[in-house]
Structures are given as structure tokens and as C-alpha cells.
Structure 1
Amino acid sequence: MSEQYAKATFAGGCFWCMVKPFDQWDGVDSVISGYTGGHIDHPTYEQVKSGESGHYESVQITYDPSKIDYETILDLYWKQIDPTDPDGQFHDRGPQYRTAIFYHNETQKTLAKASRADLESSGKFNKPIVTEIKPAERFYPAEDYHQQFYEKNPEEYAEDRAKSGRDQFIQQHWA
């Protein structure tokens, strides 16, 4: 990776739904679906899906900070999730679907904590913000069939997203 690029890593429930919102922004070089935060090296989807590996389904974004800043990426992230749900996201339940921001340096940590505090004080939600802010750990790319799922399988993606309740939540809380 060139020195001009930076990484941002987020868990926001099913990684299929977390790629497209970031993938379409100028300055985002790539969005990789994967797993982070667990205790098994090179986990498989089945191990993560079981909830036993300790991993979060997550996305790792490689971006050019001269075109899109971390604060903008954080703002995009918050608007994709229910930050008050400690048990998963929408119809995806279990520890592998919890939300978290994985910071890669102290600046990201500071900005993430500030953005969470701003959201908490905004009054937008009547429940506590439970999204964790954690140091980035080893990131394992998911299997190829999960990468760019929304492009490879547009009908299945649209069907899964529609039944998840994510879009209704976003419309209700972020529109």
C-alpha cells in the first residue's frame, strides 16, 4: 500500500451491507469484507458465522486522506448502523454482528471517540451508544464470494438488504 493511503476498519453487522456505502466515494480505493478481533488464525466464514471464533464481520477500507478524510468516513459509518444494539445488527444476531470501530492510530482513536461522544450527546437515540472503539487487530479477508457481493449478486444482495430492516432503520433515523 502506498504511503498516501490509510486504512479504516469497521464492524457493522453483515459485511455485505457495509461495502457499497463506502465503495462509491471518491478517494476510497478499496473496501474488503473480512474478519477481525477473534482468537482463531485465518478463520473461515463458517467459524465466524458460528459466533465461536470471537471475530466480527467487518470491512477494511483503504482510502486516500487527501480526497476523503477519516471524519467523513466515520460519519458514513454511523449512518449505516444501529449504534444502540449490543447483540447484532438488524436481523443478523450474535457477537459476530456487533458494531465496532477499529482504530489504526491514535488520531483515529481520538476522532472515533469524539464522534461517538457527539452522537451520544445529539439526542438522536434514546438508548446508549454501545459501539465499541478498539485497537485494530489482524484483519483476515473473507472468502472471494463475499467480496463485492452487491456487484456480483445484485438480486440476492437487494433481497437480503430489504429483509434485514437496515434500510428502514437508516431512513427512520438518518434521513
Structure 2
Amino acid sequence: MEKELQIATFAGGCFWCMVKPFDQWEGIHGVVSGYSGGHVENPTYADVKSGESGHYEVVQITYDPKIFSYEQLLEIFWQQIDPTDAGGQFQDRGDSYRAAIFYHNEEQKIQAEKSKAALAASGKFKKPIVTEIIPAKTFYRAEDYHQDFYKKNKAEYLEDRQKSGRDEFINQYWD
């Protein structure tokens, strides 16, 4: 029996910067910006940004595991974040910008933990890997203007990304 499409959910700081790296591969059926991990139902961007809702900014990826594996998604994820930073990502600070892997089943949990351990053992980073691996909670789709932001608002996206320090970090650690 063939597997159907699956879901992966990652928090990596500002969700605007987390869509494009996943959006460009065969086997990826969608990347949606949203919120997860908090305690407020149907949060708005303002709720999440305030830090009061407990949510992370996340991307939820629908993928075909026959074409693009969860391990490949994890590899891309790690290469978009600073896994040693527990206080946010790059210029974006606060709980809503923390990095995390939200697993949807036991297999994803095991694979995420294995990939985190491999990254820690690699010696690539001097500080400990602090990215959380936590059970998936309710996903709330972000407002429409956040969806595909890098396509709809190219200049603002590029300016924000350039100011963030993300690309310099990626180039330094992942070449």
C-alpha cells in the first residue's frame, strides 16, 4: 500500500524566510505559513507577535514521501536556522521566533531526534543544539498576506532577509 501525502511542521524564525527553501522541490505539494504550539485559539499575527499566545511562527509542508523524504526535509530545515539559539532566530527575537520541529507521528519524532543528534555530533557548532523537538499541536493558517510572501513582496522579502543575518549565517556554516 502506497503512503499518501504527509505533513511536516517546522519553526525557524520568521516564516517568510522558511517558505522558499522548501517550496522549490518536486514532491512538495504546498508550504503554508501559520502558527502552532500556543494556547490561544485562532491567533492573529498580532497575538503571536505579542508573545502572549505561546505560538511559534511555523511553516506546514505537505509532501509526498515517495518523492521527497522527511529526512530530506530535516536536512533543509537544519540548514535554514541557528540551532544553537534558544531566544529566536537572527534579528527576530522572542518566543514566537524560536526554532522547533513539530512531529506528527512517532516515525517523525525518531527521525528528528536522530538528525539532531547527528548534527550535535558533527562538531559543526561549538555551542549545544537547543532546537526543540515537540509534538505537533493545532496548526492555524496565517493571514493571506503572509502566504507566499517571498513571491508576492519580493523587494520587502529580500530587504528583510538581507537585514536578518540569516544568509551570512547559512553561508558561514553550510557553504
Equivalent position amino acid for 2:95 in 1 = P
Corresponding residue for residue 168 of structure 1: 168
Task: Normalising by structure 2, report the TM-score.
Answer: 0.98
Corresponding residue for residue 125 of structure 1: 125
Equivalent position amino acid for 1:147 in 2 = Q
Corresponding residue for residue 81 of structure 1: 81
* CA distance in 1: counterparts of 2:19 and 2:158, whole angstroms: 13
Shift of 1:167: 0.3
Shift of 1:103: 0.3
* CA distance in 2: counterparts of 1:116 and 1:131, whole angstroms: 8
Task: Normalising by structure 1, report the TM-score.
Answer: 0.98
Equivalent position amino acid for 1:56 in 2 = Y
4+ runs of 1 displaced by more than 3 Å?
none
1:116-167 residue CA offsets vs partner (Å, 9 max, x unmatched)? 0000000000000000000000000000000000000000000000000000
1:168 match: secondary structure? helix
Corresponding residue for residue 142 of structure 1: 142
CA RMSD of aligned residues (A): 0.6
2:163 match: secondary structure? helix
* CA distance in 2: counterparts of 1:92 and 1:25, whole angstroms: 26
Shift of 1:29: 0.3
Corresponding residue for residue 104 of structure 2: 104
Matched, 1:13 2:13: yes
Shift of 1:114: 0.2
Equivalent position amino acid for 1:9 in 2 = T
Structure 2: give runs of 5+ residues left out of the alignment: none
* CA distance in 1: counterparts of 2:51 and 2:173, whole angstroms: 28
Corresponding residue for residue 55 of structure 1: 55
Identity %: 67
Shift of 1:4: 1.6
* CA distance in 2: counterparts of 1:74 and 1:169, whole angstroms: 18
* CA distance in 2: counterparts of 1:50 and 1:79, whole angstroms: 27
How many pairs are equivalent?
173
1:29 match: secondary structure? strand
* CA distance in 2: counterparts of 1:10 and 1:44, whole angstroms: 19
